[in-house]
């Protein structure tokens, strides 16, 4: 296997100058109630006790049949966990709680409109609704174990209901983030080979009722063109019994779920005992090449891992009210809104809308009303909440015992605001580093046991053994004050099994870089490359610096630069495109798009707007560039490669460095001039505004 050149990360330079932060300690009150305070856990989960240590997590679940092999490495590096075991994820998240807790709230659903009351679904109600919908999926949609079905649902209770109904039957769900466009949804329908799409007529976002059904039409049409027929579109209703979308229904293809459900009232479907290594779901994520990767997650291993980490890292007890503000359309929502918390019989909050709408106090009113005590969000949301309402949390009577940050590195200043103002100095914080591919947390402090360090994720969680390699494969030791490529030495049960339909890409992306022997069936030879740069401090805490590949982390979500570039090439006038990350106060990183035009076309603000809109249409609003720069040509190497480093320097007002190796060094000044003109333009329009 050829070793790929790994991009150097500019963050590495920053890291060297990074100062060590002071430690913060959990309160005795927190420690007294914590699920895990026993230091011996690190011995129990040491590499000597691997892989059997993970039985401890699997034992948190109910199995139809125990496994014979804890870790099967015969198809390295496609690891299989708990082989021979039989389990059902829906049973573990719903049925098994009924005997003692059927009357307990499973889901608090918070509509965005404040004049609509919060809905509280008990475990019994969840059981009924999941069963009825499972019956519909089986009898009406004709779906069975192993089939894939695409979901394009926003933050409504029907999303976990749909996921759990699939899990009950062993159907592999593939949920596409609701904010993604119909086109993005189509690509995922095609890749997964789904012939059923489950969606909703509309939902609220920022005070507007969005027409979501329109996206389904776009998705189905594009999927058909790309060779995948969707014969049924099942549509939930934002207001049951009423159609909230102006988009017409397609006869014989589109069905309102609520109409169909009348035939399934009272139906019960036995959970299907699934092999532990049967896929539970696909979750698509961006990678270095254009096509999103369908991360395939297993049933037994995944559920064991998210349940274990929800218990010990999220410190969830059944009596907690737990609010993870992520979207279920991302991995965080799958693992830490739905599967982990429900497996532990917690009450999980699902919020439809924007946390700063209609005003900066909204999130804290929800926390107060539901008496939430565990809160989980991302730095991008924390920065936004701090910006619009730095003093809001103090006005509301809520008390968190525990808070999580996830999705991107958090600046120590932002961390301290989160700790002092949102957490009121009472809550512990875990900074959990992991990825779509991983199923659950990789690095984090165990909250009742370890001190917190602002900006650092912490050590590997029990059973995860990270290691940092430099580009030559040497280990970068603790305290070296040097960044390198963070890898995980060992497999773990939450790890994805493969990329759906593309095993070669799975091996080359994640394992080829540091594989010691490509024929080996021994897991020790296959370190997992996460694709992030990281540093290890003397005390064993990891600080994650960001991606080393062509992925931009916008508001904690990965966007492939190639995906954005190829989407902008769909605009007829565009000849070449390059996307670079720009630092942003709220969203962490945002894309800047550079394009050059085909001969015969002239730059104009209208064209720039059209290109920007086209990115939103093909990928979703999350991809909207900060700025579209229409440039006469791209800076290129003599072999014709676009020098993104130079464009990134211009966008971030940094020194462009040496340009003499370029084939066209003069272009750099031309582009800088355009940037200067743009700044002047911005200043002018600001002045004009001030006058008004
Ligand atoms: C970044 C989200 C620093 C990282 C769960 C990773 C983080 C990518 C953290 C995965 C964190 C996630 N500190 N960086 N606590 N958590 N990241 O797949 O670059 O959407 O590779 O999974 O987000 O993003 P993904």
Q: How much is the pLDDT for 587? A: 87
Q: How much is the pLDDT for 681? A: 66
pLDDT of 86 strictly over 60: yes
C-alpha 432 to ligand 1 mean position (Å): 8
User: Token pair of 201, please?
Assistant: 């007529």
pLDDT of 460 strictly over 60: yes
Q: How confident is the model at residue 682 (pLDDT cuts 50, 70, 90)?
A: low
- CA distance linking residue 513 with residue 528, whole number of Å: 9
Position in ligand 1 atom list of the atom nearest CA 531: 21
Q: How much is the pLDDT for 689? A: 53
Test site for ligand 1: of 453, 464, 553, 581, most ligand atoms within 8 A of the Cβ: 553
Identify the sign of the CA torsion 629, 631, 637, 640: positive
More confident residue, 368 or 672: 368
Q: How much is the pLDDT for 10? A: 41
Q: Tell how strand 172-175 and strand 402-406 pair up.
A: unpaired
pLDDT of 7 strictly over 60: no
* Protein residue whose Cα sits closest to atom 22 of ligand 1: 435
Q: How much is the pLDDT for 350? A: 98
For the ranges 2-11, 116-125, 336-345, 585-594, the lowest mean pLDDT is seen at 2-11
For the ranges 70-79, 314-323, 367-376, 659-668, the lowest mean pLDDT is seen at 659-668
Count other Cβ atoms within 10 Å, centred on residue 569: 15
Dump strand ranges (E) for 287-337: 293-298, 321-324
- CA distance linking residue 158 with residue 673, whole number of Å: 52
Test site for ligand 1: of 383, 485, 544, most ligand atoms within 8 A of the Cβ: 544
C-alpha 24 to ligand 1 mean position (Å): 23
pLDDT of 79 strictly over 50: yes
Which residues, including other chains, have CB under 8 Å from residue 124's CB and lie 6 or more apart?
98, 102, 103
pLDDT of 188 strictly over 70: yes
Q: Could you report how far apart the first and last alpha carbons of the chain are, in Å?
A: 64
Test site for ligand 1: of 179, 558, 559, most ligand atoms within 8 A of the Cβ: 558
Position in ligand 1 atom list of the atom nearest CA 546: 19
Q: How confident is the model at residue 645 (pLDDT cuts 50, 70, 90)?
A: confident
Q: How much is the pLDDT for 37? A: 97
Write down the mean pLDDT value for the chain: 93
pLDDT of 5 strictly over 50: no
pLDDT of 331 strictly over 80: yes
CA atoms within 13 Å, Cβ hemisphere of 197: 33
Test site for ligand 1: of 433, 440, 444, 529, most ligand atoms within 8 A of the Cβ: 433
pLDDT of 638 strictly over 90: no
C-alpha 379 to ligand 1 mean position (Å): 11
C-alpha 406 to ligand 1 mean position (Å): 7
Mean pLDDT of 314-339: 97
C-alpha 407 to ligand 1 mean position (Å): 4
Q: How much is the pLDDT for 4? A: 38
Position in ligand 1 atom list of the atom nearest CA 330: 20
- Taking only the tens place, the pLDDT of each residue in 131-159 is 999 999 999 999 999 999 999 999 999 99
pLDDT of 218 strictly over 90: yes
- Taking only the tens place, the pLDDT of each residue in 483-525 is 899 999 999 999 999 999 999 999 999 999 999 999 999 999 9
Mean pLDDT of 294-317: 98
- CA distance linking residue 645 with residue 657, whole number of Å: 9
* Protein residue whose Cα sits closest to atom 11 of ligand 1: 433
Mean pLDDT of 227-253: 98
CB 457, CB 435: distance < 8 Å: no
pLDDT of 293 strictly over 70: yes
Test site for ligand 1: of 15, 324, 408, 557, most ligand atoms within 8 A of the Cβ: 408
Q: How confident is the model at residue 3 (pLDDT cuts 50, 70, 90)?
A: very low
Q: How much is the pLDDT for 446? A: 98
Overall residue count recorded for the chain in this entry? 692
Q: CA-based Rg of the chain, rounded to a whole angstrom?
A: 25
Q: How much is the pLDDT for 9? A: 38
Which residues, including other chains, have CB under 8 Å from residue 360's CB and lie 6 or more apart?
385, 388, 389, 392
- CA distance linking residue 425 with residue 555, whole number of Å: 25
User: Token pair of 347, please?
Assistant: 């009450």
DSSP string, 442-462: SB---TTTS-B-TT--BSBPT
Position in ligand 1 atom list of the atom nearest CA 332: 5
Mark residue 435 as left, alpha or beta (left: phi above 0; alpha: psi -120 to 50; beta: remaining): beta
C-alpha 262 to ligand 1 mean position (Å): 42
C-alpha 202 to ligand 1 mean position (Å): 30
C-alpha 441 to ligand 1 mean position (Å): 10
Position in ligand 1 atom list of the atom nearest CA 437: 18
More confident residue, 575 or 270: 270
Q: How much is the pLDDT for 358? A: 96
pLDDT of 325 strictly over 60: yes
Q: Tell how strand 551-554 and strand 557-560 pair up.
A: antiparallel
Instruction: Ligand 1: list residues with CB < 6 Å.
Output: 285, 330-332, 406-409, 431-436, 457, 530-532, 544, 546-547, 553, 557-558
* Protein residue whose Cα sits closest to atom 6 of ligand 1: 435
* Protein residue whose Cα sits closest to atom 1 of ligand 1: 408
C-alpha 542 to ligand 1 mean position (Å): 13
Tell me the percentage of the chain whose pLDDT exceeds 90. 81
Q: How much is the pLDDT for 299? A: 98
- CA distance linking residue 592 with residue 631, whole number of Å: 13
pLDDT of 286 strictly over 80: no
Position in ligand 1 atom list of the atom nearest CA 557: 20
Identify the sign of the CA torsion 398, 401, 407, 410: positive
- CA distance linking residue 49 with residue 441, whole number of Å: 20
Of 5-9, 93-97, 380-384, which has the strongest mean pLDDT?
A: 93-97
Test site for ligand 1: of 325, 409, 435, most ligand atoms within 8 A of the Cβ: 435
- CA distance linking residue 244 with residue 230, whole number of Å: 22
For the ranges 443-447, 453-457, 514-518, 663-667, the lowest mean pLDDT is seen at 663-667
pLDDT of 6 strictly over 70: no
Q: How much is the pLDDT for 16? A: 44
Tell me the percentage of the chain whose pLDDT exceeds 70. 95
Q: What share of the chain is helix, strand, coil (3-state, %, to 5)?
A: 35, 25, 45
Q: How much is the pLDDT for 626? A: 93
* Protein residue whose Cα sits closest to atom 24 of ligand 1: 435
Mean pLDDT of 313-322: 97
Question: CA of 207: how far to CAs of 155, 176, 190, 210, 592, in Å?
Answer: 14, 22, 32, 9, 28
**CA 297, chain centre distance (Å):** 14
Q: How much is the pLDDT for 15? A: 43
Count other Cβ atoms within 10 Å, centred on residue 607: 18
- CA distance linking residue 182 with residue 642, whole number of Å: 30
Q: Angle 644-651/666-691 helices, nearest 10 degrees?
A: 30
CB 61, CB 303: distance < 8 Å: yes
Classify 377 as helix, strand or coil. Answer: strand
For the ranges 257-261, 293-297, 345-349, 545-549, the lowest mean pLDDT is seen at 545-549
Count other Cβ atoms within 10 Å, centred on residue 207: 11
Position in ligand 1 atom list of the atom nearest CA 405: 15
Q: How confident is the model at residue 290 (pLDDT cuts 50, 70, 90)?
A: low
């Amino acid at each position: 296997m050829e070793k790929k050149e790994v991009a150097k990360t500019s963050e590495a330079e920053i890291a060297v100058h990074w100062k060590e932060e002071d430690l913060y300690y959990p309160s005795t009150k927190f420690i007294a109630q914590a699920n895990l305070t026993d230091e011996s856990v690190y011995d129990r989960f040491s590499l000597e006790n691997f892989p059997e240590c993970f039985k401890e997590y699997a034992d948190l679940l109910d199995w139809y049949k125990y496994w014979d092999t804890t870790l099967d490495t015969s198809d390295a590096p496609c690891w299989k966990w708990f082989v021979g075991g039989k389990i059902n994820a829906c049973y573990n998240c719903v049925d098994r709680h009924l005997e003692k807790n059927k009357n307990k709230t499973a889901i608090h659903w918070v509509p965005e409109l404040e004049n609509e009351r919060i809905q509280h679904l008990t475990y019994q109600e969840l059981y009924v609704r999941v069963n009825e919908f499972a019956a519909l999926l089986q009898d009406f949609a004709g779906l069975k174990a192993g089939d894939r079905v695409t979901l394009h649902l926003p933050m409504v209770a029907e999303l976990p209901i749909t996921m759990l109904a699939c899990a009950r039957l062993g159907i592999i769900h593939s949920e596409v983030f609701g904010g993604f466009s119909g086109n993005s949804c189509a690509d995922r329908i095609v890749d997964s080979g789904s012939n059923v799409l489950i969606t909703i007529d509309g939902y609220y976002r920022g005070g507007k009722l969005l027409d979501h059904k329109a996206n389904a039409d776009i998705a189905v049409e594009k999927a058909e063109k790309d060779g995948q027929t969707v014969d049924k579109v099942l549509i939930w209703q934002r207001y049951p019994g009423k159609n909230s979308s102006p988009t017409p229904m397609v006869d014989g293809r589109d069905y309102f779920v609520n109409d169909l459900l009348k035939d399934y009232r009272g139906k019960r479907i036995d959970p299907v005992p699934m092999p532990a290594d049967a896929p539970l779901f696909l979750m698509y994520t961006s990678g270095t090449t254009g096509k999103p990767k369908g991360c395939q997650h297993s049933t037994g291993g995944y559920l064991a891992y998210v349940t274990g980490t929800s218990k010990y890292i999220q410190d969830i007890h059944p009596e907690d009210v737990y609010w993870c503000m992520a979207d279920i359309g991302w991995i965080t929502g799958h693992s830490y809104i739905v599967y982990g918390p429900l497996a532990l019989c917690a009450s999980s909050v699902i919020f439809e809308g924007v946390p700063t709408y209609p005003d900066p106090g909204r999130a804290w009113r929800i926390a107060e009303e539901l008496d939430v005590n565990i809160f989980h969000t991302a730095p991008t949301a924390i920065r936004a909440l701090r910006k619009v309402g730095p003093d809001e949390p103090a006005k509301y009577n809520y008390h968190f015992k525990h808070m999580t940050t996830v999705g991107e590195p958090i600046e120590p200043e932002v961390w301290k605001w989160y700790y002092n103002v949102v957490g009121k100095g009472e809550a512990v914080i875990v900074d959990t580093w992991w990825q779509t591919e991983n199923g659950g947390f990789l690095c984090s402090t165990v909250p009742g046991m370890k001190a917190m360090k602002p900006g650092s994720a912490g050590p590997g969680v029990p059973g995860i053994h990270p290691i940092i390699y430099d580009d030559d494969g040497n280990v970068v030791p603790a305290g070296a004050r040097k960044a390198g490529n963070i890898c995980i030495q060992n497999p773990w049960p939450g790890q994805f099994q493969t990329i759906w339909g593309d095993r070669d890409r799975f091996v080359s992306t994640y394992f080829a870089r540091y594989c010691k022997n490509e024929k080996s069936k021994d897991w020790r030879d296959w370190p997992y490359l996460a694709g992030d740069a990281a540093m290890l401090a003397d005390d064993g805490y990891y600080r994650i610096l960001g991606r080393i590949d062509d992925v931009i982390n916008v508001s904690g979500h990965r966007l492939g630069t190639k995906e954005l570039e190829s989407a902008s090439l769909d605009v007829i006038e565009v000849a070449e495109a390059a996307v670079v990350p720009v630092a942003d106060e709220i969203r962490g990183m945002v894309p800047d798009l550079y394009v050059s035009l085909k001969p015969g076309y002239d730059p104009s603000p209208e064209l720039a707007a059209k290109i920007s809109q086209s990115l939103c249409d093909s990928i979703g609003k999350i991809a909207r560039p900060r700025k579209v720069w229409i440039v006469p040509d791209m800076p290129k190497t003599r072999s014709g490669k676009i020098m993104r480093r130079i464009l990134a320097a211009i966008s971030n007002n940094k020194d462009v460095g040496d340009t003499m190796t370029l084939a066209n060094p003069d272009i750099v000044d031309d582009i800088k001039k355009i940037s200067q003109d743009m700044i002047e333009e911005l200043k002018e329009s600001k002045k004009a505004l001030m006058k008004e």
